[in-house]
Structure formats: structure tokens, C-alpha cells
Structure 1
């Protein structure tokens, strides 16, 4: 008798659960699919028509997509009466919420940092940035990370909080990028000739701009060499292969320096001193006799 009663109870609960689950799935489908495949594309077209840049448009569409998902799940939970289940397990839900809150502290920080990055008009997709000894072109800004394409053809994901907490340099001005390279030359060389070669090799490269003109400055007097800094301008890195320009320029300068007899010294140390035998009586024919 009691087995039959228990079976009836579980059958009723299972039927109610399956009914609620089916209603949940149907509600999510009816709300999410039109939002994802109809409203979201229309919103994208509207933003494109308004001329919105990618830095704002892409994160906005991601947030809008997430809002559609949350809206669908919330309404499905209400329609299928899953809220009563959550209420019955509110202690468990509260504990899980606290645990998730601690675990998502960094995620929330990166999300807030991403908002600051998006609204900053000087920080845009396609910009070349330098930070913490790294550099590259911004390809995407998401909730958690900013993806940067380096000049070594690597795609790195940088936490948004790292970019907002550290100094970020944007060397691009008016769609042009200034490249700077240092070369060490010997103290006996003709500085004017070395500077002329550095300027000429920069201006001879087809991707280097004629204006502003390349310049060379004496940077410092080092221990073994005089440091010369060459500066020249190229097109925006999104349209220019900076790695190829860098390689070609350094190689051409080295070849011209070799042809002109201009030395590029490397640091070295010269050790001086003498050896003295303190007990010459112990040495006999180059051998030491042990007692």
C-alpha cells in the first residue's frame, strides 16, 4: 500500500517536473530565437547605418545578446514555475551566489574595465598600443579581455583590468606611426656619415613616409659605443607590415655600415693583472713537490 502511495507521489512530481521543463524549453525557444536571429541582426544594421565604430558596436552587441539570453531564461523560469523550486532551495542558492561572487571578483573587475575602455574615445579597435613592454594592434574588446595582434603575428588576450591599471601608449598620430630604432657605433667613426646612412636607408624604404622626414639624434655616450636613435614614420600598422619594415631597415643599415667601415662595437671587458709565485722554492722545473 505504502509503496503504491510513494510511487504515485513520485509519478506526480516527475510529471510536474517534466511539464515544467517542457514549458521552460518552449518559452526559451520562443523568446531567444527571434531575439537572436531577428532583433540582433536588425540592431547591428541600425548601428551600421548610424556609423557607429567597431569599438562601441561589437561590445554593445555582445551585451545585447547576453540581455536577450537573460530575458529568455527569466521569463521561462517564471512561466514554468521554476521560481518555486529556487525559493525552496534559497539557502543553497544563497551559498552558491556568495561562492560565485568571490570567484567572479576578477571577472567583474575586467567587465567594468572593459566598459571604461569602450567609452574612451582614444582607445579603439585597430589602434596600435604599447603597455608593460608589449605592443600590438587591438582586434577585439570583450567582457573580460582585449585581444591584441602583435607584430610577431601572435594573438594575445589581455585582461581589461591590466590595461586600465597600467599606462598605455598609443604612438599613432593622424593615421601615421613613428618607428624608433637605436644603433651603437664606435667612437672612432664619422658620426655625420653614420647619421646620413641611417636617414638615407630609412628614406629609401618604399613604406617609409617622406613627410615627416626621417631624423637621427645622438642618444647617449655608452661605455663601448655612441648610441644613435633613428626615427621615421610609416602608415597605420593596420595597413603596414611593421615587422617586415623593421627587418629590412636593420639589415640595410648593417650592410651600409659594413661597406663604409663603420664599426658597431659590442660591450666587452678587458682583464689585466699578473700572477706571482709566493714560494718559488716549492717550484722545480714547473712542478710543485708535495711534502
Structure 2
């Protein structure tokens, strides 16, 4: 049976183990957080000056690694290192947790690492995926936060973006707008001139390549004109402002030049000789002497 001295000895041993765990874990944690993490983040920043998302992600991942290493160091200092390396039960439990509970989470973590390492994907970019679009606000361990055009913040699992087709329409320094209008055949030349002048008058539209207008098709009593113009230094707001301004000024110029925008379709009515029609009968009676 245990006596008082045995209880005291056991308590002292437990306190020593706890103290060793706290000291070791704190020491490793402090060194890692204030020395290792900043050093790693600085190294990544020097090599990726134009990708702040990657720097933030690496800093976050490094902090998680430091916490894990500090915890393991504390266990080793407390005398549980042998148990961790030799216990089949611990290994089996860890395998089950990682394989079942953490499978999806780990998949998102890995996908997030690939996303932040992609030079064409970063915080502030306007992206489109799976019939949705918005601006990337943050890339976290599990999800990416995107602010949509409706000013809603959507959290998208990293694995979804990693496996989807992502478009980054404004990443190349210019964006092509394609607009189409329809006019009467007699107004084609004048309308084409107005469209080119209106597009070129906007300072946000590039001179090289210059705006162009081409006849893209025929309709019933009208001709379709396709306008191509390139917006420089584009973002989602700027592109829509250029588009809105172009529409307003074209409508105004067309009205001044008496050009009908998107004229109604023509209709031809053919009557067979001898057929009775109320409208034809009425006109005949009006013209009769």
C-alpha cells in the first residue's frame, strides 16, 4: 500500500514532468514564433515580392508547425518521447484521425498551399469559377474568402477552387470589351464612325490596339456591328464604368445623328390575287371615288 511519502513522491514527479513540458514547449514556441517564423516569412517575401498572399499563407503555416513542434518538444522533455515512438495504439489512433476526420481538412490545406503559390491567383484578384465571380479577400487554411459583385462574402473550400476552372480576366494589364449594336443598312458607315470615335474618346480605352468596328451579321432590315475596345489597367469596377459610359454616349450620338439603334424587324405581307382582307377592303373603299 502507498503511504504518504509515496503520494508526495508521485506528486513531485508529476509536477516535475509538467514543469519540464511547460518550459520546453514555451522555449521552442518563443524561439519559433519570434525567430523562425519571421525568418521564413522574410525569405519568402524576398523571392515573391509581388505575391503577398503567399507570404501571409507561409507565415500562418509556419506558426502551426511551430505549435506542433513545441508540443512534441514538451512531451519529449516530460519523458513521453518513448511512448510516442513505440506505442502502436498512438500510431493507430493518429492514423484514424488523419485518415477519417481530417481527410477533407487536409485536402483543403494542401489545396490552399497550391493556390497561394500560383502567381495568377492572389488576394485582390477578380476571379470567376463555376458561374460565380468576385474578388479574393483572403486565403486561409481551409477556405478562400471571396467578395462577390453583390457585396457578399462567400467562403469557398480551397479544394473546390483547386479543382475548378478559374478565370482571372483582369490579370494581363488589359481587358477586351465586345459590344454589339444593330442599325439600318443605310446607317452602317455613319454608325461605325460614331462607334469608333466614342470608344477612342475614353481615356481608359487603349490606343494600341485601337478600337475596331466590323459588320458581324445581318438581320431582318438591319446590320449587326461588333465593337472591340481594350480597357487598360482593368478591374471589375473600371470595366463596368467604361461599358456604362460607352452605352450612354453612343445612344446620345446616335440620337443626334438620327440613327435608329436596334431598329424593329421589317415585315412583308403578301396577298394572293382574289383573297379578301379587311384592311385591303377598307383602303379600297377609302380610295374609291
TM-score, normalized by length of structure 2? 0.66
Match of 2:207 in 1: 210
1:263–1:10: structure 2 CA closer, same or farther, 3 Å change rule?
Answer: farther
Please tell me whether the aligned partners of residues 144 and 156 of structure 2 are also in contact (alpha carbons under 8 angstroms).
yes
Deviations 1:93-129 (A, max 9, x none): 8457525532333222223333433444444555543
1:273 corresponds to which residue? Answer: none
Determine the structure 2 residue equivalent to 1:36: 33
Give 2:196's match in structure 1, choosing from 193, 196, 199.
199
Worse-superposed segment, 144-153 or 69-78:
144-153
Q: Give the corresponding residue for 2:177.
A: 180
Q: Please say if residues 184 and 225 of structure 1, whose CA atoms lie closer than 8 Å, have aligned partners that are also in contact.
A: no
Would the alpha carbon gap of residues 88 and 202 (structure 1) be closer, same or farther in structure 2, given more than 3 Å must change? same
Instruction: Give the match for residue 190 of structure 1.
Output: 187
1:98 aligned residue (96, 99, 102)? 96
- Superposed, which structure 2 residues align to 1:251-290 within 5 Å? 251-259=248-256, 260-264=258-262
Identify unmatched segments of 5+ residues in structure 2: 266-289
Name the counterpart of 2:232: 235
Report how many residues are paired. Answer: 263
Displacement, 1:75?
0.7
Structure 1 residue 264 displacement after superposition: 4.0
In structure 2, how many angstroms separate the alpha carbons of the residues matched to 1:33 and 1:235?
Answer: 48
Quick check: 2:184–2:260 contact (8 Å CA) kept in 1?
no
CA drift at 1:72: 0.9
Distance between the aligned counterparts of 1:252 and 1:126, measured in 2?
Answer: 31
Distance 1:124 1:178 in 2: 18
Structure 1: runs of 5 or more not aligned: 268-291
The alpha carbon displacement at 1:162 in A equals: 2.4
CA 239–166 in structure 1, closer or farther in 2 if over 3 Å, else same: closer
Shift in Å, 1:32? 1.3
Q: Give TM-score, length-normalised by structure 1.
A: 0.66
